[in-house]
Structure 1
Amino acid sequence: MMHTVLIKELLKRGHEVTFITGMPLGKNLGENYTEILIPENEFWPEVQKMLKTKSVYDLASMTLYDFLKMCDLIGTLSTEFALQQPAVQEIFRRNDTKNVYDLLIVEQFYQEAFLALAVKYDIPTIASSTLGHQNFMSQMMGVITPWSFVPHGSLPLDDKMNFWERVYNTMASLYDDYFREFVYFPKQDALVQKYLSHLPMKIPSVSEMKKNASVLLLNSFVPLNSPRPATLGMVEVGGMHIYPPKALPADIKGFLDGAKHGAIYFSLGSQVQSAHMPPEKLKAFLAVFSKLKQRILWKFEDDSLTDLPRNVMIKKWMPQGDILAHPNVKLFITHGGLFGSQEGVHYGVPMLGIPIYCDQYLNINKATKAGYALTLNFNDITSEKLEYSLKELLENPKYQNRMKEVSAVFRDRPLSARDSAMYWIEYVIRHKGARHMRSAGLDLAWYEFYLLDVIGFFALVIFGTIGAIVLVIKMLLGSKKNKDNKKKIN
């Protein structure tokens, strides 16, 4: 969603774009667009085997350790599969590299071997993060992330942590850094050596290449994310996929227009499908929906549901943003994905969050603490808990009032998200990488970056001074004791 917008906006401004992707954008984007399509490849069986899962809903119980292992597996498999494709190899083998490309835009999510394209064509890099601001991204831009108030992106925490939460956050963040640097990156380096060793230039390690991003486009914006240290090159463009609402299909429009008591929109996104929900959970939703006076639009991916309550409409796909913009939609049941959360906030619709994995917990936890959402853990869903949560959100005006305040903040920007992204992309091209924006922290060794050498120096001085004082005192006491002994002998 984010990169579709980026590409279409770049084409609109006259740029030529070559897109390496596993998801086709279509053939009607004009002669300036070239698409290198990676064939479909299914990695879910490998993930199931590693995590011993049967359904994506099992990920609701997944630990951070398992999540990192899953990303490591998918990242390694998908990157190698992409590098094996002849069309991708052709881009790396091309001899005429001068003035072919001006910029590499690469998603910052488990495909770091492709940073070698910037080395191959000697061009600057802009990284993009669809998951918003993750802790390791501060380090790649030369900024220290304070774990005391910046939660790890996959933990259900916010910026106000108690002591044990800070302990947990520190341990998780340390482990993530260790895993990324010493387990995952070496696998990406191995792929570079395996598939790109034919290149005439030396390809630096992934750890070095990731530090060369001129700008990082972040799918985030206040108040959905907490304030944190950043550099000029860390640009928040959250909500850039939100366009003015279009006319709804006739059946959906009629269904919503006739909802005199309001309507609820229910979608668990594209990765987590309602059709795969365990039967007991489906039964709970249907039982509760049948009691409500509101109408429910439910994104449901097959035709297996029969005997639907009269107030429920299901469809395999729905124009989510256009639905949330309808004035009769009073509640959004969501998994807490970042794009959907942004749409809910943009259109001012309170949310019932049912997070399944990854940043969904953090997003919904923050929304709940901010007062415009409630959280319902998937494994804990019962008819009673679901009914209470829905009625609380629908009947208590405090959630709607708070959401209006949050929505106003999210919409209030000096420049639109799309215009901000385009400005910084063209800025980096104009200034050939904009090296003047690069943090000097990127040139420091890790122990220098975290001032461990300075801390060690001061520790040595302090303990050395204390040791010297103790030694002097011992010598003085020893001298006094010897004199006393001599007096006794005399």
Structure 2
Amino acid sequence: WKSVFSQSCLLSLYVMSLAPSCDGGSILVFPVDGSHWINMKVLMEELQSRGHKLTVIRASNSWYIPEQSPLYTTVNLQMEEAFEDFFDIFLEKQIKREGASALTFLKLTKDFLHMISHAHAIWCEALEKILEDDKMVKSLLDAKYDLMLTDPAIAPGVVLAKHLKLPVVLNVRWVTSGDGQFQLAPSPLSYIPVPGSGFTDKMDFLQRAQNLFYYSITQFQQYVLVGPSYDAVCEKYIEGGCDIISLLQDADIWLFRSDFVFDFPRPTMPNVIYMGGFQCKQAQPLSAELEDFMQSAGEHGVIIMTLGTLVNALPPDLADEIASIFAKLHQKVIWRHIGARPSTVGNNTLIVDWMPQKDLLGHPQTKVFVAHGGTNGVQEAIYHGVPVLGIPLFFDQFDNLLRLQARGAGTIIRLNELNGETFEQGLRELLHQEHYRDNMQRLSRLHRDQPLSPMDQAVFWVEYVIRHKGAAHLRTQAYKMPWYSYYCVDVLLLLLSAVIGTVLCVVALFRFLCSRNRTKIKDKKQ
């Protein structure tokens, strides 16, 4: 791996040296808070190191995006509602659900869609405040930004870019209606699973029918729950009006946080740059305390566990069960757990408020990663070749983990099935069956074997848009075609009409000739 990494670095430096230079640009950034901000910040740090000036639009009550930073200047939006409440409420319902009945699924889906649509509505209101503030709009125009860099999971950034007439680069995996690729490229539902379906790219008839049902939910979400909030802003502030899907499709470059080592193969477009794992780096040395703990595990190794940035702790009774299972193992454990300390914690378990996740995953003593299945954690596990025991909580996490499970690099415990017995069984399976680690390390080798690092690709295309004032030549015109033209229904109707017309003419001709022939015969008889 070190050899491959060194060669990749040298090749990246060589290729970047051949690329045209780009003077530092001025970039307006409209991020999404939470774990999405972690992704955006990694990209911003690289852009800033290459001389670009960054301005971030943030909510005044943001819980992740600081107002003061040497990395960027800020434009603050006054907002009162905190989005953490949304995640806390939804997670509580997920954890307390009993069984997986159709009624339970529909209720959770309804609550989730309501939560999402409310979040979009709040941000559309905030966007209106910007556009109503002539002084703020003038300051944004006077700054003469080169482009808008935004995450369209919540999409006021693309509307603002349209108003300011800025080229758009998306740091994206999710858009307002789910997986962004469904809005950008042909997406046959016969082999492309819809997020939330829990299917792979190998579906039987019943699964394909269910996949269509899940797709209808995403369309309902977009056109009934989410879209109208953006449409109202577009109609009021954008000359000629617009809709959010068309604005997304008009983006110059999609920096897509995935790749085909992780995702299932599918059609794509030339302005989509796959940069899965762009945030991954070689592991750095641990603190002396953590390194001593890792080495003390000996040949048995270490298990690390975290449930991500939005979840601090599981319910106390469940945490106690998990802690008791950890205490039975020969391995050492590092567990990010905030809240009441489980009463059953063993001497082999280190409870921490924060952990250097990337550096721990890259440590040779790490044997298993117990995680919720967020995109960042899954891609870091692939990069470092550590098999994953997944406990998906919400959003895309089950689908992320399913991709690992389908490749034999991890296994999943559903939240409503999580208890001491299933947790112990899953851990022992990953610890003692070598094929999980072998498969994950194969994915790691595939991911690392690239001519240019994902981060270098991302920065190159941002600078490409700055140099050329956009990348319109990479956008397909298919989006502007009516559906009947896109599917050639009008052409088929014309051809069908021509065929039918020809057949009718032939039939009429034969009838005419036959009728004439009968007339002649009748005349001869007379």
Same fold (TM over 0.5): yes
Q: Does 1:127 align with 2:170?
A: yes
Q: 1:381 to 1:317 in 2, by over 3 A?
A: same
Q: 1:381 to 1:205 in 2, by over 3 A?
A: closer
For residues 35-59 of structure 1, what are the alpha-carbon distances to aligned partners after superposition, in whole Å with 9 as ceiling and x for unaligned? Answer: 536656324656888x7x7445358
Q: Distance in 1 between matches of 2:80 and 2:434?
A: 46
Offset at 1:77? 3.8
> What TM-score does the superposition give when structure 1 sets the normalisation length?
0.84
Q: Percent identity?
A: 27
Q: 1:56 to 1:246 in 2, by over 3 A?
A: farther
**Relative to structure 2, which stretch is displaced further, 128-137 or 341-350?**
128-137
SS at match of 1:97: helix
Q: Distance in 2 between matches of 1:133 and 1:322?
A: 33
Could you tell me which runs of 5 or more consecutive residues in structure 1 were left unpaired when the two chains were aligned.
480-490
Q: Distance in 1 between matches of 2:182 and 2:41?
A: 27
Offset at 1:276? 3.7
Q: Distance in 1 between matches of 2:158 and 2:432?
A: 51
For residues 113-150 of structure 1, what are the alpha-carbon distances to aligned partners after superposition, in whole Å with 9 as ceiling and x for unaligned? Answer: 33232223222111121459987633543x21111111
The code of the aligned residue for 2:408 comes to G
Q: Distance in 2 between matches of 1:65 and 1:448?
A: 35
Report if aligned partners of 1:134, 1:153 keep a CA contact under 8 Å in 2. no
Report if aligned partners of 1:354, 1:375 keep a CA contact under 8 Å in 2. yes
Offset at 1:217? 0.8
Matching residue of 2:282: 244
The aligned runs of 1:50-449 (5 Å cut-off) are 54-55=92-93, 57-58=95-96, 62=105, 65-66=109-110, 69-70=113-114, 72-80=116-124, 82-83=126-127, 89=133, 93-94=137-138, 97=141, 100-111=144-155, 113-131=156-174, 137-138=180-181, 140-141=183-184, 143-192=185-234, 197=237, 201-260=239-298, 261-273=300-312, 275-277=313-315, 279=317, 281-449=318-486
Report if aligned partners of 2:371, 2:390 keep a CA contact under 8 Å in 1. yes
**Relative to structure 2, which stretch is displaced further, 162-171 or 83-92?**
83-92
Offset at 1:416? 0.8
Offset at 1:99? 6.6
Q: Distance in 2 between matches of 1:459 and 1:362?
A: 43
Offset at 1:383? 2.1
RMSD between aligned residues: 3.6
Q: Distance in 2 between matches of 1:286 and 1:409?
A: 35
**Relative to structure 2, which stretch is displaced further, 293-302 or 244-253?**
244-253
Report if aligned partners of 1:133, 1:218 keep a CA contact under 8 Å in 2. no
SS at match of 1:104: strand
Report if aligned partners of 1:19, 1:35 keep a CA contact under 8 Å in 2. yes
Q: 1:396 to 1:202 in 2, by over 3 A?
A: same
Report if aligned partners of 1:47, 1:73 keep a CA contact under 8 Å in 2. no
The code of the aligned residue for 2:279 comes to H
Report if aligned partners of 1:4, 1:25 keep a CA contact under 8 Å in 2. no
The code of the aligned residue for 1:36 comes to N
Report if aligned partners of 1:140, 1:442 keep a CA contact under 8 Å in 2. no
Report if aligned partners of 1:134, 1:152 keep a CA contact under 8 Å in 2. no
SS at match of 1:14: coil
Q: Distance in 2 between matches of 1:41 and 1:148?
A: 41
Report if aligned partners of 1:264, 1:331 keep a CA contact under 8 Å in 2. yes
Q: Distance in 2 between matches of 1:238 and 1:313?
A: 31
SS at match of 2:370: strand
Offset at 1:278? 5.5
Q: Distance in 2 between matches of 1:78 and 1:163?
A: 40
Q: Distance in 1 between matches of 2:126 and 2:472?
A: 30
Q: 1:392 to 1:133 in 2, by over 3 A?
A: farther
Q: Distance in 2 between matches of 1:96 and 1:292?
A: 58
SS at match of 1:19: strand
Q: Distance in 2 between matches of 1:40 and 1:306?
A: 38
SS at match of 1:73: helix
Report if aligned partners of 1:133, 1:220 keep a CA contact under 8 Å in 2. no
Q: Distance in 2 between matches of 1:407 and 1:136?
A: 24
Q: 1:328 to 1:131 in 2, by over 3 A?
A: farther
Q: Distance in 2 between matches of 1:399 and 1:134?
A: 33
Q: Distance in 1 between matches of 2:78 and 2:449?
A: 39
Q: Distance in 2 between matches of 1:129 and 1:13?
A: 22
Matching residue of 1:27: 68
Q: Does 1:36 align with 2:76?
A: yes
Q: 1:231 to 1:89 in 2, by over 3 A?
A: same
Offset at 1:354? 1.1
Offset at 1:311? 0.9
The code of the aligned residue for 2:362 comes to A
Q: Distance in 2 between matches of 1:97 and 1:373?
A: 49
For residues 262-302 of structure 1, what are the alpha-carbon distances to aligned partners after superposition, in whole Å with 9 as ceiling and x for unaligned? Answer: 110111111233x24352x2232122112111111111012
Q: 1:70 to 1:134 in 2, by over 3 A?
A: closer
> What TM-score does the superposition give when structure 2 sets the normalisation length?
0.79
SS at match of 1:290: helix
Q: 1:256 to 1:190 in 2, by over 3 A?
A: same
Q: 1:278 to 1:420 in 2, by over 3 A?
A: same
Q: Distance in 2 between matches of 1:38 and 1:417?
A: 35
For residues 379-401 of structure 1, what are the alpha-carbon distances to aligned partners after superposition, in whole Å with 9 as ceiling and x for unaligned? Answer: 11232222111111101111111
Matching residue of 2:28: none
SS at match of 1:389: helix
Q: 1:381 to 1:161 in 2, by over 3 A?
A: same
The code of the aligned residue for 2:68 comes to K
**Relative to structure 2, which stretch is displaced further, 77-86 or 16-25?**
77-86
SS at match of 1:428: helix
Report if aligned partners of 1:302, 1:316 keep a CA contact under 8 Å in 2. no
Offset at 1:177? 2.5
SS at match of 1:213: coil
Q: Distance in 2 between matches of 1:370 and 1:426?
A: 35
Matching residue of 2:26: none
